Amino acid sequence: MSDPAGGTIDLAEEFLGRRTPMQRIQVTLHRYPYLSPLIVLIVALVIFALINPKFILPGNLSFITQQTVVIGTLAIAQTLIILTAGIDLSIGAIMVFGQMVMANLALTAASNATNFGLPPWLAITIGICASILAGAINGFLIVKLSLPPFIVTLGTLSVFTALTLILFKARTIQGPEMPDLLKVMGVAIKIGSFQLMVGVIVMLVLFAVFTYVLRMTSWGTHIYAVGDDPQAAELSGISTKRVLFSVYVVAGFITGIGAWIYIGRTGAASPNADPSINLDTITAVVIGGTSLFGGRGTLIGSLLGAFIVVVVENGLALAGLDQAYRVLAIGILVIAAVALDQWIRKVRA
Amino acid sequence: MSTQALALEPLLTCRGLVKSFGRVIGLNGADLDLYPGEVLAVVGDNGAGKSTLIKCVAGALIPDTGDITLNGERREFKRTQDARLQGIETVFQTLAVSPALDIASNLYLGRELRKPGVIGKVFRMLDKKRMRTEASQHLQDLGIGTVQSITQTVETLSGGQRQAVAVARAAVFGSKLIILDEPTAALGVRESARVLQLIKDLRDRGMPVVLISHNMPQVFEVADRIHVQRLGRRAAVVTPQTHTMNDVVAIMTGAMTVDEKDQALGPVRSAN
């Protein structure tokens, strides 16, 4: 290097490209947001397997996938919504509503007052349509009345829960009362001593389809753009309202499929089904590295997040810890995930 | 170049545009004329309604009253998309880029390319590869893209690079006219010079440019005509040849007034 000026520039560039190890981690996580949940999941799996060898028995692993299937499916819908910087607190209520519509319409038992006896495929279709309609109501209120998603879905959470109880008289419909097609999602396919539920396959297919949609279609790109900076998206010629509304409708559809899976998974349709499902889906999405501020996140992260929620619960139970500790662990994970997201968002070039 | 008005039909005219925001009046009967092949600078004090005026032309705002005509046809733009379909591209002051998306996605945002055949039509698959190659080609052609990779997200770019992406988007897709709102505000000296050169190149290609700027030396360097906006209206149209920077500032601030009949200067540059 004979030219002294050139030498100086090279020196400066060397410093420009230099990053501390922490910055390297920050940049990597920024680029691949699903890395952190992947690491957490692997670490959790290893620790729990070491604590209690029963944890990795095929029986327990199939149990974990079955526990994950509903949270995982609804987490797809929740991810799409959170990517637009929204949130859906009513997702569990919509699912319960959808499954009660399916179960009641298909009911054939003569003893029942709400005896529609529709063919099962039609009952399922109408149930999914009911979920889509519920999602459309959310979308309408958010887009047309410009209300914040948090408030809208907090309201519709109560509305859909109440509607379910009013329409279906708080009656749990037992498995034997329902035709087989409604319970098909719960059928287990035996692979050795591992049992793969049909619903799990459906969930994985949905994940694959929507990963494709998010990554490879205009609609997917627009979801990220709208969540990232709605004004910029609108000025770039994207109809933010149309994108938002469509996201809530599609989320309703996924939730409808989730309702069908839920019937199969629990073998019954209860109007008082799992009240924690709302927060579990949000937890899965957040742990999965999707930013609550919108525009950043992946579906694969949410799938990993859903597994983390279930694995931690299951693993701590097998380790002999009380339910309270499991709740505590999940709470800490959520806060850690959000703190990590804040840190990652500060990344520089 | 003679400063005598040439006989040319304007490409874009605005007549009597009014836009109010609550009790604040942004435009108070503003006029604008843009002639083919020219660079029209729009200058004015803060709050004179420069950005409001061009946002109405770009479809980002809907004027309360007033007419916008493009090529002699009256147009009503409800959204930026409407203006874009007419070939009007705008670089907004806020740039309107999506930080989390990569450069190629930003360049093609709202008009993504799909793969040919069934994959594109039925499965709506984007042609990411083609968008990336074409995007980096465009950036190179424009000479304003010194980015490491076209797949970098925009948030990892410097202010100047982001501006380059926004300018490139307008330059690539604008077919009738390009509006630049303070395109050099965030740029250094060298990058500013590149953008000014780009504006000249666009004009040499016959593309009319509306340039909003606070930077008088830059305005006087590239503009054919200078539209001076004051209190929501057009106060004057002058040329760098007939007026000095001090005159323009005087008109901007109201220290100098221009007779009503002289407020609309015709085209000074003949279309190629």
* Residues whose CB falls within 8 Å of the CB of residue A208, separated by 6 or more in sequence, listed in order: none
Domains in chain A: boundaries: 31-345
Average pLDDT, integer, range A131-135: 98
- Asked if A229 lies within 8 A of B60 by C-beta distance, the reply is no
Written as six digits, the tokens of A153 are 């879905």
Spatial CB neighbours of A167, under 8 Å, sequence gap ≥ 6: A100, A104
Closest CA to A207 of A299, A305, A291: A299
Give the mean pLDDT of chain A: 88
Q: Is the dihedral of CA B178, B182, B185, B190 positive or negative?
A: positive
How large is the ipTM? Answer: 0.86
Q: Which of A236, A239, A348 shows the shortest C-beta gap to B96? A: A236
Name every chain B residue with its beta carbon within 8 A of the beta carbon of A19.
none
Please give the CATH number for the structural domain made up of A31-345: 1.10.3470
Q: Residue A31: exposed, middle, or buried by beta-carbon count in 10 A (0-12, 13-18, 19+)?
A: middle
Closest Cβ–Cβ partner in B110, B128, B158 for A236: B110
By mean pLDDT, which of A157-161, A217-221, B55-59, B194-198 is the weakest? B194-198
Higher pLDDT, B32 or A12: B32
116-145 of B, contacting A, C-beta below 8 A: 124-126, 128
Size of interface A-B (CB pairs under 8 A): 77
**Is the minimum CB–CB distance between B149 and chain A shorter than 8 Å?**
no
Which chain B positions have a beta carbon within 8 Å of A344's beta carbon?
A: none
The two tokens of residue B173 are 């897709």
Rounded distance, CA A7 to CA A197, Å?
64
Residues in chain B closer than 8 A to A239 (CB atoms): 79, 81
Q: What angle do CA B44, B49, B51 make, to 5 degrees?
A: 95
What is the rounded distance in angstroms from the CA atom of residue B33 to the CA atom of residue A150? 47
CATH class, B1-87+177-182+206-272 region: alpha beta
| Chain-centre distance for alpha carbon A17 | 38
A303/A69 Cα distance (integer angstroms): 10
Owner of token pair 């499902």: A277
Query: Is residue A2 very low, low, confident or very high in pLDDT (cuts 50, 70, 90)?
Result: very low
pLDDT tens digits, one per residue of B41-66: 999 998 899 999 999 999 999 999 99
pLDDT band, residue A85 (cuts 50/70/90): very high
Q: What is the pLDDT of residues B116-133, one digit of tens each?
A: 988 888 888 999 999 998
Q: Which residue of A has its CA nearest to B94?
A: A232
Length of chain A: 349
Residues of B in contact with A221 (CB under 8 A): 101, 105, 109, 112, 126
Contacts by B188-194 with C-beta closer than 8 Å and gap 24+? B188/B160, B191/B144, B191/B160, B191/B163, B191/B164, B192/B218, B194/B143, B194/B144
Query: Could you tell me the residue ranges of all domains in chain B?
Result: 1-87+177-182+206-272, 94-173
Q: Is the pLDDT of residue A11 over 60?
A: no
Tokens of A312: 């931690």
Q: Which residues partner with A310 through β-bridges?
A: none
**Cβ-nearest to A228 among B98, B111, B158:** B98
B87 versus A8: which is more confidently predicted? B87
pLDDT score of A112: 53
Residue B266 has pLDDT above 80, yes or no: no
What pLDDT is stored for residue A6 in this prediction?
39
Mean pLDDT, chain B, as a whole number? 87
pLDDT at A81: 98
Q: Does B113 touch chain A (CB under 8 A)?
A: no
Distance from CA of A168 to the nearest CA of B (A): 39
Q: Dihedral (C-alpha) A150, A153, A155, A156: value to the nearest 10 degrees?
A: 180
Mean pLDDT for A95-106 is: 93
Q: Rounded mean pLDDT of A196-202?
A: 95
pTM: 0.89
B85 to chain A, closest Cα gap in Å: 10
Q: Which of B97, B110, B156 sits opposite A237 (nearest CB)?
A: B110
Given this model, what pLDDT does residue A115 score? Answer: 62
Q: What is the mean pLDDT of residues A83-102?
A: 95
pLDDT at A12: 52
Of A217, A219, A233, the CB nearest to B98: A233
Do the chains contact at B109 and A225, CB–CB below 8 Å?
yes
Sign of torsion over alpha carbons A29, A32, A33, A35: negative
